[in-house]
């Protein structure tokens, strides 16, 4: 896992519609995808620019990172001609973060024909767990031409 590696083509990996590629929330929060396999997806967001009024990382930014990583791991496990879409997201915020970078690691907990559930663990620069999230995605056949 290294920042110096070539950028990961998320559109190819997860089937993002090219027409929506330049409108991704991930870009707006400064997310960087560092690693993406069916077994593990890793990404980061900066704390700066993603604060709530008290100067802490916004819980919604945690949710954005968690859903993005969990959805990517689900898409990579969905199989050819299948699409994974978020059904339920749960986030437990354990510790506030005021500066630096938050890193998320998503791993699949359940991979089925109809649903995929991932656990996403977010940590601060010192490796302390800041948030634990669980995302369940529904898996459906892609519509023809999609």
Residues known to be catalytic: 67
Token pair 């330049």 is at which residue? 22
Q: How many CA atoms lie within 13 A of 72 on its CB side?
A: 29
> d(Cα 47, Cα 92) in Å, to the nearest integer?
18
Contacts of 89 (CB under 8 A, 6+ apart): 63, 66, 67, 70, 133, 134, 135
């Amino acid at each position: 896992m290294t920042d110096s590696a070539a950028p990961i083509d998320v559109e190819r990996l997860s089937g993002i519609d090219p027409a929506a590629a330049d409108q991704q929330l991930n870009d707006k929060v400064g997310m960087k995808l560092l690693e993406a396999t069916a077994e593990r997806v890793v990404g980061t967001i900066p704390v700066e620019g993603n604060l709530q009024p008290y100067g802490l990382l916004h819980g919604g930014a945690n949710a954005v990172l968690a859903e993005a990583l969990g959805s990517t791991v689900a898409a990579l496990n969905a199989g050819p001609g299948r699409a994974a879409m978020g059904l339920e997201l749960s986030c437990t915020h354990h510790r506030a973060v005021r500066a630096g970078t938050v890193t998320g690691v998503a791993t699949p907990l359940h991979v089925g024909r109809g649903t995929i559930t991932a656990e996403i663990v977010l940590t601060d620069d010192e490796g302390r767990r800041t948030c634990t999230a669980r995302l369940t995605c529904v898996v459906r056949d892609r519509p023809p031409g999609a």
